[in-house]
Amino acid sequence: MNPTLMQLHQALRQGRTSSVALTERALDAIRRHQEGGGVAFIQVDAEAALAAARGIDAAKRYPSPLSGIPLSVKDLFDVQGQVTTAGSLALKTEPPAAQDATAVARLRAAGAVLLGRTNMSEFAYSGLGLNPHYGTPLNPADPERIAGGSSSGAAVGVALGLSAAALGTDTGGSLRIPAAFCGLTGFKPTARHVPQQGCLPLSPSLDSIGALGRSVSCCTILDAVLRKGRIPALAQNEAPLLGKHRLYVTEDYVADQLDPAVAQAFKQALSRLSNAGAKIVRFDFPELRQIADINAKGGIVAAEAWRWHQERLQGENGHAYDPRIARRIRAGASQSIAEYLDTLERRRALQAAATRRLSMADAWLMPTVAIRPPKLAELVDDDAFTRANSLVLRNTSIVNLLDGCALSLPLTPQIGLSVCGLFGRDNHILKLAAGIERALANT
């Protein structure tokens, strides 16, 4: 069992290990992973990581739960002196970043040791995690299956113990999908809670910066650093009892086409939470059926992605794009300004409906992903890829449209439970998710 951030922090403070030892262990694991054909990392900065670890150990104190802990960074963030390629070959000739992204700088300030850049779906525009340029990270529990995306390398790295936790992004599920598929915990905060400076955009209206870890406490620690830009107080056991909490569940839309294993795991989780004292409240949310129409021409993501990529796709490196990703981006060109503004208006209407229907809810629960991870061989055909990508993203993308927050907890090594809240309820959802995590572990 890989240790949590707090377990590693305690080991450092008690002198049972050192940052150098943790970093050397992580780098050795990455090396063995790569020698075995693994592609979780695009770039490893061993020299800088070890130098940072030595500096932290020399101070003989570990004030932050991240001090001396080896983490990874998704290849979407600027790291000073490195080229941000976003999992693409089209940006390899871009100049190195002049400074760290705000999120990266905050991790450094909290004492994190940055190991390198993790693989991903090109430009973060897929929930499956395939990458034809750098290879596709495979599921740690079944190498015939995908790890999910877009933060595929980040999840594989944490699941295999190559890093203690990972920095990633989530525009439609890019943290929560790989968390569910790889048996991890992933948190998508309210979008504007973490500054996006220095993070290559996919859809600025929907992009969120968050973390992948091994527990709710890992995500809580990382969120505190990323959101507040300060070293958090040491995490206390604040997991609430569930007796007074109303957990809402809808069986329309998010329960369509569920894999039987997913449906069974979700049903069992609800039963265990009910036995732990939670009140499970069934409700209807018919407005969710409008999402397919909202996204008919690629939705907000395609329109905003086209704005950023238009000149690059038409430039000399346009041929270097993954054709599947290029096709999805070009869908944004078909939207008129009026259609884009109409989509934004429909988004606001959906948010208003969610506020009404969830006004009494402490959280909204749903299966993180409707299906188990598909086999990589099943996604060779473009139509199969498109169908799988749509279904994988369906549940998670709702929270991005609502500009809410959500955390995915593992129910099995490949199935997740999402604990969702509306705009700004991040602290509440993190605390409640800790109670749900404890209840599921104890029943």
Same domain? For 188 and 250 the reply is no
Residues 6+ apart with CB under 8 A from 36: none
Residue 304 in any domain: the answer is no
Same domain? For 46 and 172 the reply is yes
Same domain? For 110 and 210 the reply is yes
pLDDT in tens, 337-384: 999 999 999 999 999 999 999 999 999 999 999 999 999 999 999 999
Domain count, the chain: 2
- Residue 106: the pLDDT is 97
238: pLDDT strictly greater than 90: no
Same domain? For 269 and 220 the reply is no
More confident residue, 182 or 238: 182
> How many angstroms separate the Cα of 252 from the Cα of each of 177, 249, 262, 264, 282?
20, 9, 15, 16, 10
Residue 234 in any domain: the answer is no
Same domain? For 212 and 250 the reply is no
1: pLDDT strictly greater than 80: no
Domain end (from 196, 228, 260): 228
> Sign of the CA dihedral 196, 197, 198, 204?
positive
What mean pLDDT is predicted for residues 207-216? 98
277: pLDDT strictly greater than 70: yes
Residue 302 in any domain: the answer is no
- Residue 62: the pLDDT is 94
Domain end (from 198, 228, 258): 228
pLDDT in tens, 182-207: 999 999 999 999 999 999 999 999 99
pLDDT tier at 114 (50, 70, 90 boundaries)?
very high
Q: Which of 396, 393, 437, 400 is nearest to 422 (CA)?
A: 400
Say if residues 290 and 101 touch (Cβ distance below 8 Å). no
- Residue 269: the pLDDT is 98
231: pLDDT strictly greater than 70: no
- Residue 229: the pLDDT is 75
Same domain? For 179 and 263 the reply is no
Phi, psi of 372 (to 5 degrees): -75, 165
Residue 307 in any domain: the answer is no
Lowest-pLDDT range, 14-18, 130-134, 311-315?
311-315
Range of the domain at 387: 246-293+331-442
Same domain? For 218 and 103 the reply is yes
Strand partners, 363: 247
Same domain? For 138 and 263 the reply is no
What mean pLDDT is predicted for residues 260-266? 98
- The catalytic residue positions are 74, 150, 174
- Residue 232: the pLDDT is 58
- Residue 240: the pLDDT is 75
Of the chain, the percentage scoring pLDDT greater than 70 comes to 98
Same domain? For 167 and 105 the reply is yes
Domain end (from 228, 257, 282): 228
- Cα 435 from Cα 239, distance rounded (Å): 4
235: pLDDT strictly greater than 60: no
Same domain? For 250 and 221 the reply is no
The CATH number of the domain where 368 resides is what?
3.90.1300.10
- Cα 117 from Cα 51, distance rounded (Å): 17
- Cα 214 from Cα 4, distance rounded (Å): 6
Q: Which of 335, 254, 238 is nearest to 288 (CA)?
A: 254
Residues 6+ apart with CB under 8 A from 34: 41
230: pLDDT strictly greater than 90: no
Q: Which of 322, 80, 294 is nearest to 205 (CA)?
A: 294
Mean pLDDT over each residue of the chain, to the nearest integer? 96
109: pLDDT strictly greater than 60: yes
What mean pLDDT is predicted for residues 78-106? 97
Same domain? For 173 and 250 the reply is no
Same domain? For 159 and 253 the reply is no
pLDDT in tens, 408-440: 999 999 999 999 999 999 999 999 999 999 999
What mean pLDDT is predicted for residues 238-263? 91
Residue 431 in any domain: the answer is yes
